Structure 1
Amino acid sequence: MTADRAAYRPNVGVVLFNRAGQVWYGRRHATPGPYNWQFPQGGVDKGEDLLDAARRELREETGVTSVELLGRTEDWILYDFPPEAMNNAKAWRGFKGQKQMWFALRFTGQDDEIDLQAADEVEFDAWRWGDLSEACDLIVPFKRDAYAQVVAAFARFAA
């Protein structure tokens, strides 16, 4: 995708793999289905290391800290916000979309470490383990192309 990358908000995403090669899906809090499941993701603070941002977002959204790095995407993956979302200027701060660096992390803890209320702002209200191949069917349509790139990049870590 050729685009002015400055028009895209810097963001990180995490695909959390368990020991069996399944991935963690979170259901977005107060978001009607059917496309309300996704991987943890979030913004990057100015000057923040990308892996540190990924670990921070994972901790804030899931409570998970017991992880090891498996890999990351080679380049930014971009997606545009849908037109109906552009009315929410506060959320998007004038950006056209997001550019994401994705990290594959292996969960080395136990499931009871997962705490969806670990931070003040709840991102997810339910979670489950599933197959990586489900990702594109679960995510909102405007993120599907980005998720397809993530799935291809991390397929080698899947069950």
Structure 2
Amino acid sequence: MDAESLPYRPCVGVVLIDARGLVFAGQRIDNPSPAWQMPQGGIDDGEKPKEAAYRELWEETGVTRDKVEFVAKTHGWVTYDLPPELLGKVWGGKYRGQRQKWFLFRFKGQDSDIKIASEHPEFSTWRWILADEMVESIVPFKRAVYDQVIRSFRAYLA
């Protein structure tokens, strides 16, 4: 499969921070080894990226718009390519990777407002961690993206 001929999947990501500047990390339910990540997902047709970010945050964490404060977003789009072993296997084989716009939200609720047990759960458990620990905890092929995103939002993080 020629990855160069495939487009990137339009996507958003959410860096959710608590009052201390710690980052929400969810352990992926579909990965047998500990794989932690931040909420993220595709942008629906006609959906604005910020609206997609609020929707993905709610779908993956149960956190509603009234429990967060918008802080910042990445200036441009951040891309990553799938590793060869995943190319053609995820997202119906239609994409070479993702093109992401990231949003930073400050969580204003209580930990009990986070409900990862949804109709289609993404995470088996979650925790608040330091930003650098989040970068170390992501699957290797997304590490450069997470590093770039964390650097963009560094001023707001613990």
Q: Above 0.5 in TM-score?
A: yes
Q: Cα deviation per residue 1:14-59 (whole Å; 9 max; x = unaligned)?
A: 000001111100000031224x000000000011011110000000
State the alpha-carbon separation in 1 of the partners of residues 29 and 97 from structure 2.
Answer: 21
Match in the other structure for 1:81: 82
TM-score normalised by length of structure 2: 0.92
Report the 3-state secondary structure (helix = DSSP H, G, I; strand = E; otherwise coil) of the residue aligned with 2:99. strand
Matched, 1:45 2:7: no
- In the alignment, is the contact (CA less than 8 A) between 2:39 and 2:56 conserved in 1? yes
1:54-133 aligned within 5 A: 54-65=53-64, 66-88=67-89, 91-118=91-118, 120-133=119-132
How many residue pairs match? The answer is: 153
- In the alignment, is the contact (CA less than 8 A) between 1:86 and 1:92 conserved in 2? no
C-alpha RMSD of matched pairs (Å): 1.6
TM-score normalised by length of structure 1: 0.91
- In the alignment, is the contact (CA less than 8 A) between 2:88 and 2:95 conserved in 1? no
Report the 3-state secondary structure (helix = DSSP H, G, I; strand = E; otherwise coil) of the residue aligned with 1:85. coil
Matched, 1:17 2:21: no
State the alpha-carbon separation in 1 of the partners of residues 93 and 117 from structure 2.
Answer: 26
Shift in Å, 1:104 = 0.3
1:128-147 aligned within 5 A: 128-147=127-146
Shift in Å, 1:92 = 4.5
- In the alignment, is the contact (CA less than 8 A) between 2:15 and 2:23 conserved in 1? yes
Change (3 A) 1:82 1:92: farther
My pick for the range that moved more, 133-142 or 52-61, is 133-142
State the alpha-carbon separation in 2 of the partners of residues 124 and 131 from structure 1.
Answer: 18
- In the alignment, is the contact (CA less than 8 A) between 2:16 and 2:24 conserved in 1? yes
- List alignment gaps of at least 5 residues for structure 1: none
